[in-house]
Amino acid sequence: MSAPPLKKPTVTEREARQVAEAAREQDWRKPSFAKELFLGRFRLDLIHPHPVPSAEAVRRGEAFLAKLRAFCDTQVDAARIEREARIPDEVITGLKELGALGMKIDPKYGGLGLTQVYYNKALALVGSASPAIGVLLSAHQSIGVPQPLKMFGTPEQKQKFLPRCATTDISAFLLTEPDVGSDPARLATSAVPDDGGDYVLDGVKLWTTNGVVADLLVVMARVPKSEGHKGGITAFVVESDSPGITVENRNAFMGLRGIENGVTRFHQVRVPAANRIGPEGAGLKIALTTLNTGRLSLPASCVAAGKWSLKIAREWSAAREQWGKPIAQHEAVGAKISFIAATTFALEAVLDLSSQMADEDRNDIRIEGALAKLIASEMGWRMADELVQIRGGRGFETAASLAARGERAVPAEQVLRDLRINRIFEGSTEIMHLLIAREAVDAHLTVAGDLIDPDKSLQDKAKAGANAGVFYAKWLPKLVAGPGQLPSSYSEFKHAGVDLAPHLRHVERHARKLARSTFYAMSRWQGRMETKQGFLGRIVDIGAELFAMSAACVRAELLRSRGEHGREAYQLADAFCRQSRLRVDELFGRLWSNTDDLDRKVVKGVMAGSYEWLEQGIVDPSGDGPWIAEAAPGPSERENVHRSIG
Catalytic positions, written as ranges:
426
**116-129 and 297-319 helices, crossing angle to 10°:** 50
In the DSSP assignment, the letter for residue 633 is -
Sign of CA dihedral 312, 318, 322, 323: positive
State the minimum distance, in angstroms, from the CB of residue 35 to ligand FAD. 22
According to the binding rule CB under 6 A, does residue 28 interact with ligand FAD? no
| Element containing residue 601 per DSSP (H, E) | helix 596-608
Binding segment toward ligand FAD, per CB under 6 A, in 205-213, 224-232, 326-334, 587-595: 205-213
According to the binding rule CB under 6 A, does residue 636 interact with ligand FAD? no
Taking CB under 6 A as the criterion, the residue among 152, 425, 471, 588 binding ligand FAD is: 425
According to the binding rule CB under 6 A, does residue 534 interact with ligand FAD? no
According to the binding rule CB under 6 A, does residue 85 interact with ligand FAD? no
Using the minimum distance from each CB to ligand FAD, give the nearer residue, 421 or 540.
421
Taking CB under 6 A as the criterion, the residue among 139, 357, 419, 584 binding ligand FAD is: 139
CA distances from 482 to 49, 468, 545, 553, 585 (A): 21, 23, 20, 19, 19
Residue nearest to ligand FAD (CB): 181
Taking CB under 6 A as the criterion, the residue among 32, 128, 142, 176 binding ligand FAD is: 176
Using the minimum distance from each CB to ligand FAD, give the nearer residue, 17 or 229.
17
Give CA–CA dist 539/437, Å, rounded: 7
Which DSSP string do the residues of 432-456 spell out, in sequence order? Answer: HHHHHHHHHTHHHHHHHHHHH-TTS
Binding segment toward ligand FAD, per CB under 6 A, in 170-178, 231-239, 497-505, 593-601: 170-178
Of 277, 35, 281, 326, residue with least CA distance to 151: 277
Give CA–CA dist 602/513, Å, rounded: 31
**For 563-595, where are the alpha helices, taking DSSP H only?**
566-592
Give the contact letters, 178-197, x = binds to ligand FAD (CB under 6 A), - = no.
---xx---------------
Using the minimum distance from each CB to ligand FAD, give the nearer residue, 174 or 529.
174
State the minimum distance, in angstroms, from the CB of residue 262 to ligand FAD. 9
Taking CB under 6 A as the criterion, the residue among 209, 249, 275, 550 binding ligand FAD is: 209
According to the binding rule CB under 6 A, does residue 471 interact with ligand FAD? no
Phi and psi of 77, rounded to 5°? -105, 95
State the minimum distance, in angstroms, from the CB of residue 206 to ligand FAD. 7
Contact 85, 143 (CB under 8 A): no
Taking CB under 6 A as the criterion, the residue among 52, 65, 151, 431 binding ligand FAD is: 431
Question: Among residue numbers 244 through 273, which ones bind ligand FAD (CB under 6 A)?
Answer: 253, 256, 261
Using the minimum distance from each CB to ligand FAD, give the nearer residue, 13 or 361.
13
According to the binding rule CB under 6 A, does residue 424 interact with ligand FAD? yes
Peptide bond into 49 cis (omega under 30): yes
SS (HEC) of 183-234: CHHHCCCEEEECCCCCEEEEEEEEEEECCCCCCEEEEEEEECCECCECCEEE
According to the binding rule CB under 6 A, does residue 175 interact with ligand FAD? yes
Taking CB under 6 A as the criterion, the residue among 428, 446, 467, 636 binding ligand FAD is: 428
Q: Which amino acid is at 615?
A: E
Give CA–CA dist 449/437, Å, rounded: 14
Query: Residues interacting with ligand FAD, by CB under 6 A?
Result: 139, 172-176, 181-182, 207-209, 253, 256, 261, 421, 424-425, 428, 430-431, 434, 533
